[in-house]
Amino acid sequence: MSNPGTTKYRELTNTTVADYLSGQSSVAPHLGPNASEWKVSEIGDGNLNLVFIVQSNQGTVIVKQALPYIRARGPSSPLPLSRAFFEYEATTRHSERAPGTTPALYHFDKDQAIIVMEYLSPHIILRKGLVLGNQYSRLAESLGQYLARIHFRGSDLSMDSASKKMDAALFAGNHALCQISEKRIFTEPYYAADLNRWSSPQLDDVVQCIRQDEPLKAAVNELKDKFMSNSQTLLHGDFHSGSVMVTDHDVRVIDPEFAFYGPMGFDVGAIIGNLLIAYCSQAGHADTNDDRSEYSRWILTVIAELWSTYEVEFKNLWLSERTGELYPKNVFPQSNSKESLNSLSRYLTSILADSFGFAGAKMIRRIIGVSHVEDMTTIEDPDLRAACESRALSIARTLVLKRNSLSNVQEAIKIAEKSNSMSCEKSR
């Protein structure tokens, strides 16, 4: 799908998008021939890339183009165009491993760092739905299945060793995006990094406590070690609630530009952490008609059901598709044997422990690091917002520190339900 040869990279604008697309035969079936009548608008609400919506009387497509820098910061913050290549490659693999979970891909241009894909409609970004208080009946099941399928089928449990290593080598090229995660998630929240921000003055003391919290910093670096050196599977890599688009009946996953071979718990933890942020933010979105208490409980059921679906699907795949080098058939001939199922259980326990830890690390970075989330930023009352954030920090710290001693997801949910605000005494 990539254009042959190297043509000079050009940033698309509202006025050049139609011209560019009209030269691409793979896009014609989706928009038809009359390029002069297409409507183009730039809808990117993210930090990194340009995203255009292009509408004709025959259909609509999304055009996503990487910029040679971080969009939100401008040309002084360079970022490789190759992230579009990794997003395209990851979407291709994930759509094969978990059919029906991604937008369809129509066109990819490596030189121009452009992906043209299916326009998801009437889907909305899950994070926005969580702020609005919408329930989605298929959410937990869809997310749990998606994660189990991409994780299992991209790992040494399924792939042959050479293919997996070669693919891991390819995705090692996405190191610039990995480095963003290394710094933003695991490093900057724990020292006075320039771009950090938080609800001040309410959280000033808490931020100081976190920076001096030796057990927490040590645990976060253990997680960072896993993030950097455990290439268990091809992850989504940025699996927060802004990377999921939903309707009542459908759940799709977008934006795997941070994809790399890493620990399975990093994706599971990302979504659990973001759901817990949504949970903590609900008090800030309550009004006289709805105190959001029922909705808050629903968010916790999503976390529990997401993990139970993940376990069930992972087990199905363990029993039926274990064709890789790890736990091989010649060593574990009976998939259903006690020995095999015990190994599966240990494998899942380890993913869950990692998930709790990564969930906590992800929550902390969204509250005291550079990049914040709408769940909290849309709470207008600064004291109420800080109270919600403080509660999230308290949950996060406990999850990071207790990740290896929690025996199931219900224990994590109890921690969330019982938590109050983060207290400095606790973290000393």
Of 242 and 357, CB closest to Mg ion? 242
Q: How near is the Cβ of 50 to Mg ion at its closest, in Å?
A: 11
Contact (Cβ atoms closer than 8 angstroms) between residue 146 and residue 253: yes
Q: How far is the CB of 9 from Mg ion (least distance, A)?
A: 19
- Least distance CB 258 / Mg ion (angstroms): 7
Provide the mask over 88-107, with x wherever binding to ligand ATP is found by CB under 6 A and - wherever it is not: ---------------x----
**Residue with smaller CB distance to ligand ATP, 53 or 228:** 53
Binding mask 205-244 for Mg ion (x = CB under 5 A): ----------------------------------------
CB 155 to ligand ATP: min, Å: 25
Q: Phi then psi for 324, rounded to 5 degrees? A: -90, -165
Q: Which residue in the set 13, 19, 43, 132 belongs to the binding site for ligand ATP (CB under 6 A)?
A: 43
Q: How many residues line the site for ligand ATP (CB under 6 A)?
A: 20
174 binds, among Mg ion, ligand ATP, none (CB under 5 to 8 A by kind): none
Please return the burial class of 132, using the count of CB atoms within 10 Å of its CB with bins 0-12, 13-18 and 19+.
Answer: exposed
Burial class (CB in 10 A: 0-12, 13-18, 19+), 421: middle
Phi-psi map region of 74: left, alpha, beta (phi>0 left; psi -120 to 50 alpha)? left
| Shortest reach from residue 389's CB to ligand ATP, in Å | 20
> 101-107: long-range contacts at Cβ-Cβ below 8 A with a sequence spacing of 24 or more?
101/142, 101/146, 101/149, 101/251, 101/252, 101/253, 102/252, 102/253, 102/254, 103/62, 103/252, 103/254, 105/1, 106/26, 106/27, 106/30, 106/61, 107/1, 107/24, 107/26, 107/27
Among 40-48, 324-332, 341-349, 357-365, the segment contacting Mg ion (CB under 5 A): 40-48
Q: Least distance (Å) from ligand ATP to the CB of residue 48?
A: 4
Of 190-198, 250-258, 288-296, 337-345, the window that binds ligand ATP (rule: CB under 6 A) is 250-258
Radius of gyration (C-alpha) of the chain in whole angstroms: 22
Q: Is 254 in the site for ligand ATP (CB under 6 A)?
A: yes
Closest CA to 146 of 273, 266, 313: 313
Alpha helices in 25-160 (DSSP H): 28-31, 82-97, 126-132, 139-153
Under 8 Å between Cβ of 260 and 236: no
Which of 160, 123, 156 is closest to 246 using CA atoms?
A: 123
Side-chain half-sphere of 408: how many Cα atoms within 13 Å?
6
Q: Is 412 buried (19+), middle (13-18) or exposed (0-12) by CB count in 10 A? A: buried
CA distance readout (Å), 212 to 7, 305, 424, 427: 51, 36, 10, 8
Closest to 399 in 3D by CA, of 357, 366, 362: 357
Site string for ligand ATP, 110-149 (x = CB under 6 A): -------xxxx----x------------------------
| Among 109, 213, 255, 311, interactor with ligand ATP by CB under 6 A | 255
Q: How far apart are CA 242 and CA 94, in angstroms?
A: 18
Residue 169 parent element (H or E): helix 161-171
Q: Shortest approach of Mg ion to residue 257 CB, angstroms?
A: 5
Tell me which of 44, 59, 133, 173 binds ligand ATP, using CB under 6 A: 44
Residue 120 interacts, among ligand ATP, Mg ion, none and using kind-specific CB cut-offs from 5 to 8 Å, with: ligand ATP
Piece of 11-19, 250-258, 288-296, 415-423 that binds Mg ion (CB under 5 A): 250-258
- Nearest distance in Å: CB 47, ligand ATP: 4
**Only segment of 44-52, 138-146, 164-172, 244-252 that touches Mg ion (CB under 5 A):** 44-52
Q: Which of 189, 237, 242, 273 binds ligand ATP (CB under 6 A)?
A: 242
60-79 binders of ligand ATP (CB under 6 A): 62, 64
Q: Smaller CB distance to Mg ion: residue 67 or 207?
A: 67
State yes or no: residue 255 binds Mg ion (CB under 5 A).
yes
Which residues form the interface with Mg ion (CB under 5 A)? 48, 255, 257
Which residues form the interface with ligand ATP (CB under 6 A)? 43-49, 51, 62, 64, 103, 117-120, 125, 242, 254-255, 257
